[in-house]
Structure 1
Amino acid sequence: MADELPPDGAMLAAVDLGSNSFHLILARRLKGELSLLRRMGEKVQLAAGLDENNWLSEEAQQRGLDCLKMMAPFLQGLSENQVRIVGTNALRAAHNAEEFITRAEAILGFPIEIIAGREEARLIFAGAVHTTPRVEGHRLVVDIGGGSTEFIIGEGAEPRLLESLHMGCVSYGGRYFPGGEVTERGYQRARTAALGELLHIQQPFRKMGWQLAQGSSGTLKALSQILGKGEFAPLTPEGIQELEKDLLKAGSAHHWTAYGMRADRVNVIPAGLAITSAFFESLGITEMHYSDGALREGVLYELLGSGTDEDIRERTVRALQERFQVDLNQSHFVTTAALQALEQTASPWGLMAPKWQHKLEWAARLHEIGLSVAHTQYHKHGAYLMRYADLAGFTRLQQQMLAVLIRAHRRKFPVTEFKVFTPEDQLKLQRLARLLRLAVVLHHSRPETPLLDFRISINNSTTRESMQVTFPEGWLQDQPLLRADLEQEAAWQAAAGFELIFV
């Protein structure tokens, strides 16, 4: 998600690195709306390149990189707040995803975010909502991808239930329909496997219900066109049974290309039909309409800043504070002090970009969430919660960054925890952590008002990167407990290779 909204007239680009296809969508921001300029999609089948140990093959990586080389020229000249690139299930699963991402970022010139399954679902719902008429009541959106299928029920623009299941047309295609060959046994195995995946979402989704069901992305689009003999037709249980009979009789899906289905979808559409048949039965769907909006449209509209009056991440942070019963006064005091410290150090430390302020603020507001688990080593509990929870609006990388800040806010400075980031991010996150630690130390006694009367000076010329904190003359002498805390903090920072001076 962009940290600053692009100006009116700016070009926006969203790239979806899906498990089956890669998509690019370009639009221009005009008076708060989007004017579509170009769509581009290529079948890559990244998920087909995952072996039994979830290692992505060089061949699959090369297919993806070749596709990105065609897309890269459309991103030239754009700034980081005009572009968002997201990866989904195949890159979530691949143990060597970082290898591919490094090569892909070198081609595109922009960072790639791997989003969690429920975050993918949330963005899919946003795409459907912004590209179709308003629905009174609940809307169900289903999106069959190459490696996962997302299910969302929402009301208006707000998702209420979000799920991402490990079943997709590419992964199931390779497992149950090798070479595109369709047999009764293979089809029933695929359908039964999908029904098993659906068991744990069946009850809550049926209980909430919906007034309109929509299917997005290529598989459900193709099935809708096949059923309508080239025209879009609503999917129904009867229509799906008709497609099943036709597919099993033919033994392959080659003949469906006559209805507009691309030839490169022949090997994956049988799996897509089996999954569709399963969720129709499991959820009791009677009719489903195709929606042109999907993940990439959702990403694009969030770049636009449309559909919500505030950053979804801000709402997520507030929800976490409430869920984990954060002491809001203490959280506010620490946050205020941390941001004041940032204001004094942002320029010499290269932290002027809004994204760094956001990360420090969110980490400060959530630094005590681990207390809901246990007081002992609560900073580690908090880091675990932040890293592995499904948090709307946050990418995996953003959560990992917040997790390391929370982990590092007290006790020994965990230098090794930062080494998973790029050298530039590693340095800046360590600097943010030092500011957060200072704010926490200053409020260790949980005072009734925030302690803000301090000045910070930075000396980057030393190998230990010195930070000096100056208090009013003579004040610190009357604060023996705080002075002891600062001395301990200086020792911990010295052990990590930093220098903290206080006077």
Structure 2
Amino acid sequence: MARPPAAAIDLGSTSVHLLVAQPAGSELVSILDESTFLGLGAAVDGPGSLGVEGRAILTATVAGYVDRARALGADNPIVMGTEPLRRLVDATRIVGEVSAACATPLHVLEHEEEGLLTLIGLTAGRAVHSDLVVVDIGGGSSEIVEIGPNRLANAAGVAVGTGRLTRSIVDHDPPTADEIGRLVSAAGAAFSWEPSRRPREVVAVGGTASNVLKLLRRSQGRADIETLDRAALDAVRAVIARSPAELLAAQYLMREARIRLLAAGAAIIEVVLDRTGADRIRVADTGIREGAIIAADRAGSAWRERLEELAHGWLG
């Protein structure tokens, strides 16, 4: 008998994102994957709060996604807040208003919880058999998890993301060569993390890495590329520097708002390559939403309390 669909919604610095998926064995089959760009990170770095109007827009967006998830059979969608909900002055009001409107709790995740969910989303419960680093580059922060055989998962967050980096440095469209260079320097200075040992593999998950890879594939006419190395990052930056974001978005069928963040995304990926000593990063199209659905499917309502256990896998 087929299991019912499940859903997860995350409120990030760049967008609010809904995933509805059908658990099928150890895998998830996507039913609906949709996002709305709200730019909560700009409010964090600007006025510091969303205010009445901003909270109303956010609440309506999340409530609409909850309704869509329930209409598809996901009765108990998981709603999660990430970096902006950890920093906005009116975060407590946001949590109360969203929870009331959706009749479900809004969970504000810690950096470590985000990282562990990212890992679970990638491994889907499979045990890790070699040293691995997983990085999720967000708009306001980046989450990193380091794990290996017989090693506890070590999750951390760093306060550098594509939105924050772009807002602090980029004033031109397209970005200038000087701005692209400064993005790399600033990302390196802010990325306060070092691995305990050189990993065998580095995997980047989430929207930033997926969209850097998407631009590379579409600009080169190759759908078979699965990794990013320094030459690939240089190629992406050359495309970004060639034309305004609006034209690139139309040419490559991508969102303009996302294009504007990709120079910063490439900069952070380059820093991760430098810190880990890796030649390339594999890109996986998973993230905390997949992780939350898998964790809740395994642990029920105790999914947050059991994240460290679940991160080490339950499948061979």
TM-score range, shorter chain: 0.7 to 0.9
Alignment partners' CA distance in 2, 1:18 and 1:64: 11
Match of 2:193 among 201, 210, 214: 201
Alignment partners' CA distance in 2, 1:35 and 1:19: 26
Alignment partners' CA distance in 2, 1:55 and 1:152: 29
Alignment partners' CA distance in 2, 1:83 and 1:158: 32
Instruction: Give CA-to-partner distance per residue, 1:181-236, whole Å, 9 cap, x none.
Output: 512333333221210122x422xx1x422222211111111111222235252200
Instruction: Give CA-to-partner distance per residue, 1:148-207, whole Å, 9 cap, x none.
Output: 111112236976332211111112222212475512333333221210122x422xx1x4
Structure 2 residue 6 is matched with structure 1 residue 17: no
Q: 1:23 and 1:157, CA in 2 relative to 1: closer, same or farther beyond 3 A?
A: farther
Which residue identity is paired with 1:117? H
Alignment partners' CA distance in 1, 2:193 and 2:202: 16
Structure 2 residue 217 is matched with structure 1 residue 225: no
Alignment partners' CA distance in 1, 2:150 and 2:34: 26
State the aligned residue count: 304
Within 5 A, what are the aligned runs for 1:432-451?
A: none
Within 5 A, what are the aligned runs for 1:279-318?
A: 279-305=272-298, 313=305
- Determine the structure 1 residue equivalent to 2:240: 247
SS of the residue 2:66 aligns to: helix
Alignment partners' CA distance in 2, 1:194 and 1:84: 32
Q: 1:32 and 1:266, CA in 2 relative to 1: closer, same or farther beyond 3 A?
A: closer
User: Shift of residue 67 of structure 1?
Assistant: 2.1
Contact conserved, 2:5 with 2:73, CA < 8 A, in 1?
Answer: no
Contact conserved, 2:134 with 2:144, CA < 8 A, in 1?
Answer: yes
- Determine the structure 2 residue equivalent to 1:106: 100
SS of the residue 1:121 aligns to: helix
Q: 1:290 and 1:159, CA in 2 relative to 1: closer, same or farther beyond 3 A?
A: farther
Instruction: Give CA-to-partner distance per residue, 1:273-328, whole Å, 9 cap, x none.
Output: 2222222233322111211211000000011017x9x97736969xxxxxxxxxxx
Q: 1:140 and 1:255, CA in 2 relative to 1: closer, same or farther beyond 3 A?
A: farther
Which residue identity is paired with 1:112? L
Which residue identity is paired with 1:211? R
Alignment partners' CA distance in 2, 1:300 and 1:161: 21
Alignment partners' CA distance in 2, 1:156 and 1:312: 23
- Determine the structure 2 residue equivalent to 1:492: none
SS of the residue 2:62 aligns to: helix
Alignment partners' CA distance in 1, 2:150 and 2:58: 33
- Taking structure 1 as the reference length, the TM-score comes to 0.54
Which residue identity is paired with 2:136? D
Alignment partners' CA distance in 1, 2:32 and 2:307: 32
SS of the residue 1:290 aligns to: strand
- Determine the structure 2 residue equivalent to 1:188: 181
Q: 1:269 and 1:94, CA in 2 relative to 1: closer, same or farther beyond 3 A?
A: same
Which residue identity is paired with 1:38? L
User: Shift of residue 238 of structure 1?
Assistant: 1.4
The structure, 1 or 2, with the larger RCO (C-alpha pairs under 8 Å, 6+ apart) is 2
- Determine the structure 1 residue equivalent to 2:314: none
User: Shift of residue 41 of structure 1?
Assistant: 1.9
Structure 2 residue 48 is matched with structure 1 residue 54: yes
Which residue identity is paired with 2:38? V
Q: 1:118 and 1:129, CA in 2 relative to 1: closer, same or farther beyond 3 A?
A: same
Alignment partners' CA distance in 1, 2:148 and 2:197: 11
Alignment partners' CA distance in 2, 1:225 and 1:254: 16
Within 5 A, what are the aligned runs for 1:106-145?
A: 106-130=100-124, 136-145=129-138
SS of the residue 1:50 aligns to: helix
Contact conserved, 1:25 with 1:40, CA < 8 A, in 2?
Answer: yes
Structure 2 residue 82 is matched with structure 1 residue 88: yes
Which residue identity is paired with 1:91? L
Contact conserved, 1:45 with 1:60, CA < 8 A, in 2?
Answer: no
Q: 1:76 and 1:245, CA in 2 relative to 1: closer, same or farther beyond 3 A?
A: closer
SS of the residue 1:296 aligns to: helix
Task: Return 5+ residue gaps in structure 1 as ranges.
Answer: 1-6, 318-391, 393-503
Instruction: Give CA-to-partner distance per residue, 1:111-142, whole Å, 9 cap, x none.
Output: 101011111111111111119x8764122211
RMSD (CA atoms): 3.4
Q: Which has the larger radius of gyration?
A: 1
Q: 1:48 and 1:220, CA in 2 relative to 1: closer, same or farther beyond 3 A?
A: same
Contact conserved, 1:140 with 1:151, CA < 8 A, in 2?
Answer: yes
Alignment partners' CA distance in 1, 2:152 and 2:69: 31
Which residue identity is paired with 1:271? A
- Determine the structure 2 residue equivalent to 1:153: 146
Which residue identity is paired with 1:153? E
SS of the residue 1:313 aligns to: coil
Alignment partners' CA distance in 2, 1:158 and 1:12: 31
Instruction: Give CA-to-partner distance per residue, 1:243-290, whole Å, 9 cap, x none.
Output: 234433x26444543334322312222222222222223332211121
Instruction: Give CA-to-partner distance per residue, 1:381-438, whole Å, 9 cap, x none.
Output: xxxxxxxxxxx9xxxxxxxxxxxxxxxxxxxxxxxxxxxxxxxxxxxxxxxxxxxxxx
Q: 1:92 and 1:126, CA in 2 relative to 1: closer, same or farther beyond 3 A?
A: same
Alignment partners' CA distance in 2, 1:300 and 1:158: 24
